[in-house]
Chains A and B, each alone.
Chain A
């Protein structure tokens, strides 16, 4: 018997409802990727990504796409952490995220952690395109292994374009099989939680946020463009979230 992985796509389109609010003409989930609209706040639409089964497992390929059209505001969260697990299908699992934020639109992309369980092999790619006048808050958190467990293999690339120009392109590779030194003193230094927070605001172009170190393992780094990256490592998911929240509050 040959075992192949699950392919699933979820799509969100946020469109102006013509009365200052945001409608969601497309809100489609599939298989393990289910989407739920939750209570809106002001002109902002809110969506929750609900995992309907476990995964991604080896061989699975998940894709999530969100289009945030001009003049709209969308906030996306997830109901629980995503856990990458080993599967019966051969090969790595893939999780692709495509986010487009138009001029004058705002996206808050705030999913829960991605946990890389022992024996899993996952490649994540997040592509974000923000229009010149668009706004973004994006958080990604990777937790290497469940409690007391060695992590699986995880490769995560994050690319952010603003006004057509790449302001951030970075990849983190860790776990067994990753190239050497990933857990050493230049990269993670034994920390088991790592996170990125990207904030794009047009006003950062004229008033950049100053660089700042937060504690032992986090830095607020103004990028070459109207965007800021908060890069953090921490001992666990709770401490990581605390430092990313603190950094976001500094930019409020």
Chain B
């Protein structure tokens, strides 16, 4: 394997469509819950330990070879908001397209056929990492970091926040990203013995409420 493949997969310019999604930041800004760097940091910290942890564990489990169908069902059960399930599948389909072009593999082809409307993005992320020869921990880092980098860069546009402040938020969260990745990989390794119930199921009520509120808007800057 080449560790540099992780940089390709994690690169914001990797053509997987993530930039069109705010990770709930647009709804939180509109509701007045995110107003600057401090509240962005709180928002990202909450998202990291909930949706980020779940995504990182799903991605790591996919690298370990857990059946994608089981992981996709586990992702559904951990995503009550239908708007978030739709967004996750749309992102999964776009990532699948980019991953198949970048790291062609029979396994990716088979999963693309199994989920014509797209599988949940973290599951595809794990499969892409697997096709690139990466490790579970790499996929978990990718998913956990994306869970905070998406809202941070979206907030730069939404609030005209200073990009240096947004980057500072991400740097301050780095030790907690490490922690989340450790927990995610440990949980993913338990799936072989205990099934997908061993995956974390941390939830964030305001992300769910915000996602449905956002989906009902006529005009919005981001897709979710």
Complex interface: stretch among A28-36, A89-97, A113-121, A174-182: A174-182
Complexed CA–CA distance, A103 and B213 (Å): 35
Q: Residue on B with the closest CB to A194?
A: B205
A221–B205 Cα distance when bound, in Å, is 11
Q: Is the CB of B45 within 8 A of A181?
A: yes
B209 touching A233, Cβ below 8 Å: yes
Q: How many residues of A contact B (CB 8 A)?
A: 37
What residues of A have a CB within 8 angstroms of the CB of B215 in the complex? 211
Pairwise interchain contact B205-A232, C-beta atoms closer than 8 A? yes
Q: Say whether A187 contacts B204, CB under 8 Å.
A: yes
Interface of A is mostly: strand
Q: B200 to chain A: which residues have CB within 8 Å?
A: 171
Shortest Cβ distance from B179 into A: residue? A179
What is the bound-complex CA distance between A168 and B82, given in angstroms? 12
Contact A219 B203 (CB under 8 A): no
A232's nearest neighbour on chain B, judged by CB, is B205
B23 CB to nearest A CB, Å = 9
Residue from A169, A181, A224, A232 in contact with B47 in the complex, judged by beta carbons closer than 8 Å: A181
CA distance A218 to B80 in the complex (A): 13
Q: A221-B81, A224-B77, A224-B85 are in contact. Are A213 and B216 (CB under 8 A)?
A: yes
A186, A212, A233: the one contacting B50 at CB < 8 Å is A186
The reply to whether B208 and A180 form a contact with Cβ atoms under 8 Å apart is: no
Q: Do B42 and A233 touch (CB < 8 A)?
A: no
Q: Judging by beta carbons under 8 Å apart, are B42 and A157 in contact? A: no
CA distance A17 to B47 in the complex (A): 50
Chain B residues near A163 (CB-CB < 8 A): none
Q: Chain A residues near B74 (CB, 8 Å)? A: 166, 169
Identify A211's interface contact among B197, B207, B212, CB under 8 A: B212
Of B39, B76, B196, B205, which one neighbours A231 at CB under 8 angstroms?
Answer: B205
Residues of A within 8 A of B85 (CB): 224
Given contacts A169-B197, A221-B212, contact A186 B80 (CB under 8 A): no
A148 proximal to B (CB < 8 A): no
Which residues 15-66 of A sit at the B interface, judged by CB distance below 8 A? none
Is B49's beta carbon under 8 Å from chain A? yes
The answer for the CA separation of A170 and B50 in the assembled complex, in Å, is: 10
User: Do residues B212 and A185 form an inter-chain contact, with CB atoms below 8 A?
Assistant: no
Chain A residue at smallest Cβ distance from B213: A213
List the A side residues contacting B204 at CB < 8 Å.
Answer: 186-187
Separation of A170 and B46 alpha carbons in the complex (Å): 15
List chain B positions with a Cβ less than 8 A from chain A. 24, 28, 31, 33-34, 39, 42-50, 73-74, 76-78, 80-83, 85, 176, 179, 196-197, 200-209, 212-213, 215-216
List the 4 closest pairs (A to B, CB-CB), nearest first: A181-B46, A184-B42, A186-B46, A181-B45
